[in-house]
Amino acid sequence: MSNKIALITGITGQDGAYLAELLLEKGYEVHGIKRRSSLFNTDRIDHLYKDKHQEGVKLFLHFGDLTDSTNLIRLVQEIQPDEIYNLAAMSHVMVSFDTPEYTANADGIGTLRLLEAIRILKMEDKVKFYQASTSELYGKVVETPQSETTPFYPRSPYAVAKIYGFWIVKNYREAYNMYACNGILFNHESPLRGETFVTRKITRAVAKIKLGLQEKLYLGNLDAKRDWGHAKDYVRGMWLMLQQEVADDYVLASGETHPVREFVELAFKEVNIAINWVGEGVNEKGLDAATGKVLVEVDEAYFRPTEVELLHGDASKAKRELGWEPVYTFMELVQEMMKADMALFKKDKYLQDGGHKTLNYHE
Ligand code: NDP
Ligand code: GDR
Residue 209 shares a structural domain with residue 175: no
Question: Which ligand lies nearest to the CA atom of residue 308 in the structure?
Answer: 2
Cα 180 to chain center, whole Å?
20
Residues 57 and 19 in one domain: yes
In a domain, 359, yes or no: no
Tell me the average pLDDT across 253-278.
Answer: 98
Indicate which residue of 158, 172, 234, 328 is catalytic.
158
Within a domain: residue 141? yes
Residue nearest to atom 12 of ligand 2 (CA): 198
Query: Which pLDDT belongs to residue 53?
Result: 84
CB 199 within 8 A of CB 263: yes
Q: Which of 9, 103, 134, 150 is catalytic?
A: 134
Residues 202 and 237 in one domain: no
Query: How many percent of the chain have pLDDT more than 90?
Result: 94
Residue 362 belongs to a domain: no
Ligand 2 atom 5 nearest Cα = 93
- Whole-number pLDDT of residue 360: 56
Q: Identify which ligand lies nearest to the alpha carbon of 14.
A: 1
For ligand 1, the distance from its centroid to the CA atom of residue 90, given in whole angstroms, is: 6
Among protein residues, the one whose CA lies closest to atom 10 of ligand 2: 198
* 273 Cβ contact list (under 8 Å, min separation 6): 206, 209, 210, 288, 289, 290, 295
Q: Is 349 part of a structural domain of the chain?
A: yes
pLDDT given at position 48? 96
**Comparing C-alpha atoms, which of 222, 328, 208 is closest to residue 268?**
208
CATH number at residue 43: 3.40.50.720
- CA–centroid distance, residue 145 to ligand 2 (Å): 19
- pLDDT value of residue 302: 98
ipTM of the complex: 0.99
SS3 109: helix
- Read off the pLDDT of each residue in 344-352 and give the average, rounded to a whole number: 93
Ligand 1 site-directed mutation target among 35, 37, 61, 91, most atoms within 8 Å of CB: 91
134 is known as an active-site residue: yes
Question: Do 187 and 213 belong to one domain?
Answer: no
Which structural domain, as residue segments, surrounds residue 269?
Answer: 198-224+258-308+330-353
246 three-class SS? coil
Q: Is the dihedral of CA 95, 45, 41, 83 positive or negative?
A: negative
Find the 116 Cα to ligand 1 centroid distance in Å: 20
Q: What mean pLDDT is predicted for residues 348-357?
A: 87
Q: Please give the pLDDT value at position 362.
A: 45
Is there a catalytic annotation at residue 136?
Answer: yes
Indicate which ligand has the atom closest to the C-alpha of 106: 1
Span from the CA of 11 to the centroid of ligand 1 (angstroms): 8
Answer whether 233 contacts ligand 1 (Cβ < 6 A): no
pLDDT at position 358: 66
* CATH number where 288 lies: 3.90.25.10
Q: Which atom of ligand 1 is nearest to the CA of 135?
A: 43
Active site residue 336: no
Query: Can you tell me which atom of ligand 1 is nearest the CA of 136?
Result: 43
Mean pLDDT value across the chain: 96
Residue 32 pLDDT exceeds 80: yes
**What domain count does the chain have?**
2
Distance 20 CA to ligand 1 centre (A): 14
Whether pLDDT at 186 is above 70: yes
Q: Is residue 215 part of a domain?
A: yes
Q: Do residue 87 and residue 41 come from a single domain?
A: yes
- Is the pLDDT assigned to residue 1 strictly greater than 90? no
Are residues 49 and 162 both part of a single domain? yes
Q: Residue 264 has what pLDDT? A: 99
Which ligand is nearest to the Cα of residue 217, counting in written order?
A: 2
| Helix, strand, or coil (residue 110) | helix
DSSP 132-199: EEEGGGT-S-SSSSB-TTSPP---SHHHHHHHHHHHHHHHHHHHH--EEEEEEEPPEE-TTS-TTSHH
Ligand 1 lined by 37 (C-beta under 6 Å): yes
Digit-coded pLDDT (tens) for 327-336: 999 999 999 9
Give yes or no: residues 28 and 45 share one domain: yes
Residue 210: pLDDT over 90: yes
Closest Cα to atom 3 of ligand 2:
93
Same domain, 133 and 158: yes
Cβ proximity of 138 and 311 under 8 Å? yes
Contacts of 363 (CB under 8 A, 6+ apart): none
Q: Is the CB of 260 under 6 A from ligand 2?
A: yes
Cα(132)–Cα(118) distance, integer angstroms: 17
pTM given for the model = 0.97
